[in-house]
Amino acid sequence: MAIVMATSFYVPNYTIQLLFIGRVKIIWLALVLFIIDFFAIPSGNAGGHIAHIGGALWGIIYVLFLRKGFDQKLFRFAGIIPEGLKRFFRFRKLHVSGRNTEHRRPMTDDEYNLNKNLQQKKIDEILDKIAKGGYDTLTREEKEFLFKSSGKNN
């Protein structure tokens, strides 16, 4: 429920196609699920429905902090993570509203494909050089590149 509410509050105008209903904004779906859980508390499994409501509230709070540019800010300032463990967790600013981030995707699909094609072209050139003059004609850098490209780390 936390994920559903966080997603719906982060991108409230996102629409999904529901069978027999049609296109619905995700925020309305999340609110309906919240209301169903709220009114289902008196029926069986009240603890489960209260847990869903708590998760929904947590999702909303998380998005509010996320929009301010902080991921896991609540954990850091609430002291939930002990001081000794903070060095193992890196709390970073997210990319929200044009701010810098370390959470960006390293490269686009086009950049990745171009990089792979250039790497394959270089491998082909090295293999052609081996075919013409033998392995001993390779430079140290070419040998290292070929070894790293082979995927063997031993």
Rounded average pLDDT per 10-residue block, the chain, 154 residues: 89 89 91 90 86 90 77 53 53 50 66 89 91 89 87 57
- Domain interval for residue 48: 2-67
DSSP for 48-99, written as a single string: HHHHHHHHHHHHHHHHHHHHTTBSSHHHHHHT-S-GGGTTTS---B---TT-
Q: Please give the backbone phi and psi of residue 23, each rounded to the nearest 5 degrees, phi first.
A: -80, 130
Report if residue 85 sits inside a domain. no
Predicted local confidence at residue 154, as pLDDT = 43
Structure tokens at 45: 């499994």
Number of domains in the chain: 2
Kindly tell me the number of DSSP H helices and DSSP E strands found in the chain: 6, 2
Predicted local confidence at residue 122, as pLDDT = 92
Predicted local confidence at residue 60, as pLDDT = 87
The verdict on pTM exceeding 0.85 is no
Report if residue 114 sits inside a domain. yes
